[in-house]
Amino acid sequence: MALDEALVAAVARRLRGARRVLWITGAGISADSGLPTYRGIGGLYEDNDTVEGMPIEVALSGDVMRERPELTWKYILQVERACRNAVPNRAHAVIVASESRFEASWTLTQNVDGLHRKAGAENVIDIHGDIYDLYCTACEWTDRPGDFDHLSMPPQCPLCHAAVRPDVVLFGELLPEAKMGILARELERGFDAVLSVGTTSVFPYISQPVLRARMKSALTVEINPGQSEVSDIVEYKLASGAAETLDCLWEKLAQG
């Protein structure tokens, strides 16, 4: 849909008075970086079943990673190749700039592509992890390679030869306690504005901050061309793409 600049201007007027802002981002924010808005870990896989005849949620699960790491790594490589040459877009840049404008600006992202940090954001809660952060499942070895082409499959730790995996939340695994703690702490401190960008908000930990903000009469905004779990809850619904909308929003904020 076409960008509604009048509605963006209304959001900008409300946002000017905010001190603490939370951005909640999903695969849609990386669409302008060339990444597909597929489902799967971080929203980067489309197919229902693998060629092995199992659902992708099973292939990309913690159980299969432990039992058949070569199978899980086969599909992790597909996710990594989708992320490999992606660069941050204007939407990522606006969120980085918001860290200087507001007293506090945090980003809660479901994406594993690492683009928020690559753009320069510091206050990032990458709740599903980052595909380029590798670690050994037995010792303290870690690595952050530029790509996975040089890895043997399935990769083993160069120190102890145990299994290596990316620091992402696979299906069936718990969310990271430390990151959930940061999110809980910042939600307790409260936000004047919560903006949901490019996510269907199907997970409770993604939709709940929006619901909480709405109940407290904070500014709530959704930027998403499609419908989501929070579309009928937010105060402002901007049915347009992330990069175009956030660029316009930042321009109108600067005019105030």
Q: What is the mean pLDDT of residues 97-106?
A: 98
Residues of the chain with CATH 3.30.1600.10: 41-84+134-168
Residue 69 or 1, more confident:
69
Residues of the chain with CATH 3.40.50.1220: 5-35+88-128+174-255
Amino acid at 195: L
- Percentage of the chain lying above the pLDDT 90 cut: 86
Q: What is the mean pLDDT of residues 176-180?
A: 97
The CA-to-CA distance between both ends of the chain, in Å, stands at 26
Residue 18, SS3? coil
Residue 182 has pLDDT above 60, yes or no: yes
The CATH architecture assigned to 41-84+134-168 reads 2-Layer Sandwich (3.30)
Antiparallel, parallel or unpaired: β 142-143 and 129-136: antiparallel
Q: What is the mean pLDDT of residues 174-203?
A: 97
Q: What is the mean pLDDT of residues 135-146?
A: 96
Most distant CA pair in the chain, distance: 59
104 burial (CB, 10 Å; 0-12 / 13-18 / 19+) is: middle
pTM, to two decimals? 0.93
The fold for domain 5-35+88-128+174-255 equals Rossmann fold (3.40.50)
Residue 4 has pLDDT above 90, yes or no: yes
Q: How confident is the model at residue 44 (pLDDT cuts 50, 70, 90)?
A: very low
Per the CB < 8 A criterion, the answer to whether 45 and 38 are in contact is yes
Residue 214 has pLDDT above 70, yes or no: yes
**Which of the residues are catalytic?**
128
